[in-house]
Amino acid sequence: MADSRTRGFRCTGGTALAAALLCCATGTAVADGTPSPLPSAGAGTAPALRLPVVPARLDLTRASCTKPSGTVTTEVPWAQQNLELTRAHQLTRGAGVTVAVVDTGVSAAASGLSGRVTGLGAGATQDCVGHGTFVAGIIAAASRTGSGFSGVAPAARILAVRGTGTDGTPDEARVAAGIRAATDAGAGVVDVSQSFPSGTAALNSALEYAARHDVLVVAAGVPDTLTATSTDSGDQRPTVAYWPATRPGVLSVVDLDIDGARPDGAVDPARADLAAPGQGITGIGPSGKGSYLANGPSVAAAFVAGAAALVRAYHPDLTAAEVRTRLVAGAYPGEVPRLNPYGALSAVLPTAEPSASTAASHAIRLTPVTEDPAPARRAYTVLAASGTAAAVLTATALLARRRRDRTTTPDA
């Protein structure tokens, strides 16, 4: 299998379930740069499908903008099936919530997003690279006739924010400014695809600003292109800290493949709050109606951002921190909890922390054995006092009885 982080996912192996779910379109889905059907392998054999991979960055000296795909997958992709989005959509589709996508921009004309994209800043609704549009589609694309793809929150609105240069090069200053601008523009959720090895004062300040204004920030735990090097040894995965995901309060997300495992060579962030599908993911592109593939933690973060939009729509009284708690608490148990949108929506969670008096009354405490004689002396004092009190009460009762006996006249 080719490196899934650079070329996409090939349906040429894996489990039978993986093949059935991933290769859901007619024929076999293969990711490369040729957006057209391949010829049939023979009579009676369905043609394999080639889906172009949406890049995270372009070399504009060698390539033009991402070209349209000529292939449309007609069945529901494996990730949407895995997340059981049809169950979540019985409760809400995310209407009334705006999700800001800090990425390469979002094409306002993208299939499934038309009429629901607003841009912040010059060029935000144009996307030469296509990655931001793909991410926005995972979050909020509506279903279309002839396509099995739809986003997690298909009724939510998208706020396009440029967090990169025109070619997709991450720009920390742009990301910081974009988070602030999205907060001021009323976004309830901010999805950040970029990851940086350090957090500047401007970026940390922007994250604090979003938190103060009740905005939930969801971020890729590590860069999409980051993999363990050949010098890494042993079974222990390397652990690294990347911003903004590593900052407390931000939902840090890692990617899973179709078998529910981290991809080969994956690097773990210093903290991961949730895991979501992120390998061999089908979605939309910046132009045309064709399908594309993409991989990495940024794609997984998009699924979580979409789920956050569902929760904010269905539980509008919850704060950003409470939405974050609900997403994690409703997830499937695991080393890193696995996203479960329906669980996040429907889970019954405590509404408040117990008061100090209530907590104390229900607390179970074990008294440790101690060699200190002071507690024993105190106990004996209490017992002695109790005995004295009992003796006094007994004597008082006897005296009272004797008085009654002396004053009582015998019957005639």
Q: Which of 103, 127, 191, 255 is catalytic?
A: 103
Half-sphere exposure of 322 (CA within 13 A, CB side): 17
Q: The tokens 């938190």 sit on which residue?
A: 211
Residue 251 forms beta bridges with which residues?
Answer: 218
Q: Which of 131, 147, 193, 255 is catalytic?
A: 131
DSSP secondary structure code for residue 246 in this structure: T
Q: How many residues does the chain have?
A: 412
CB-based contacts of 185, cutoff 8 Å, min separation 6: 98, 100, 118, 120, 159
Please answer whether residues 278 and 299 qualify as being in contact, where contact means their C-beta atoms are separated by less than 8 angstroms: yes
Please answer whether residues 218 and 258 qualify as being in contact, where contact means their C-beta atoms are separated by less than 8 angstroms: no
Separation of alpha carbons 348 and 346, rounded Å: 6
Residue 127 annotated in active site: no
Sort 241 into a burial class: Cβ within 10 Å, 0-12 / 13-18 / 19+. middle
Q: Which of 150, 193, 195, 298 is catalytic?
A: 298
Tokens linked to 199:
């957090």
Ordered strands of the 274-277 beta sheet:
117-120, 157-162, 98-103, 189-192, 216-220, 251-256, 274-277
Position 338: which residue type? R
Helix or strand run (H / E) with residue 327 = helix 320-329
Q: The tokens 């523009």 sit on which residue?
A: 185
Residue 213 annotated in active site: no
Q: What is the largest CA-CA distance in the chain?
A: 131
Which positions are annotated as active-site residues?
Answer: 103, 131, 298
